[in-house]
Amino acid sequence: MRPLRIALLVSGAFALLIGFGLMLAGSTLLSGYFTQRDDSGVVSSPQARYAVPSFAMTATQTGLRVQPGVLGWLPAHRIDAVRIDATRVDGGQLFLGVARRAEVERYLHGSAVARADFRRAPFALRYHPVAGDQRPRPPARQGVWAATSTGGGTQHLTWPLRDGDWTVVVMNADAAKGVDVHLSVGARSPAVRAIGVSLFAGGGLLGGVGALLVYAACRRARPGTDVALIQALARREALSRAERPSRFGAKS
């Protein structure tokens, strides 16, 4: 195989591989966007159970900003809102709230807290426990919250991301120790559909170019490729045949 054909074959194979990967990423993103989002455009992770022996479970805005699953690879600035859906396992009253980090730390000072990072949820949620025995006051009565949701059953808290240092708090409504909830984290990004379509279309185009390169490399040469050589051999054979009668006549 000639060097040019080898180069075409290798380039085409790489283009096909990368194109397939882009199409797969685009189709996965679009599938998740259309099947896992709700009417408000929020894509949520599967619900999982989280239990901590603390008065509260907290997560910073940074810890919530990257949504596990279909939106996990998006840059942070592409996500404009996050949402927490939570239900107490025992069916009791639950509190969800968002406040500035300094206000939350002041409110929970001296209380046992589990600081959570949901970016690896639900399979590898990381806790950073903070010790303390002081029971905090009931959270709903505090005036520090920018957004809250409290009550029985499933509570929903949607938080449009803002500049600043914000913290989400999950507690029992009566501030009792031991938080045990079924919880999912969601995110909303207006760029998901556009990025998915771009990845799929770009992958298809690159795959088409790769297929053409592979075809060009594997295509056999046509019989007329060496026309000059064939014509030269034909002329030589014709001259040889033309000389034979004259030599025969001369000898006779």
Other Cβ atoms less than 10 A from the Cβ of 2: the count is: 9
Please tell me the distance from the alpha carbon of residue 133 to that of residue 111, in angstroms, as a whole number. 5
Q: What's the Cα-to-Cα distance from 108 to each of 104, 142, 167, 191, rounded to whole Å? A: 6, 11, 12, 37
CA 160: distance to chain centroid? 21
DSSP single-letter state for residue 121: T
Residue with tokens 């990072």: 117
Bond from prior residue into 122 cis (ω within 30 degrees of 0): yes
Model pLDDT, residue 66: 47
Given this model, what pLDDT does residue 106 score?
94
CB 132 within 8 A of CB 115: no
Helices (H), the chain: 3-36, 61-65, 101-107, 192-218, 227-251
| pLDDT tens column, 208-230 | 998 888 888 787 555 554 555 55
Place of tokens 């950073």: 128
CATH number for the segment(s) 44-189: 2.60.120
Low-confidence ranges of the chain (pLDDT < 50): 65-68, 70, 123-124, 225, 248, 250-252
d(CA 226, CA 51): 78
In this structure, the number of other CB atoms found within 10 A of the CB of residue 119 comes to: 18
| 123-147 per-residue burial string, b: 16 or more CB within 10 A, e: under 16 | eebeeeebeeeeebebbbebebbee
36 CB contacts (<8 Å, ≥6 apart)?
43, 44, 69, 70
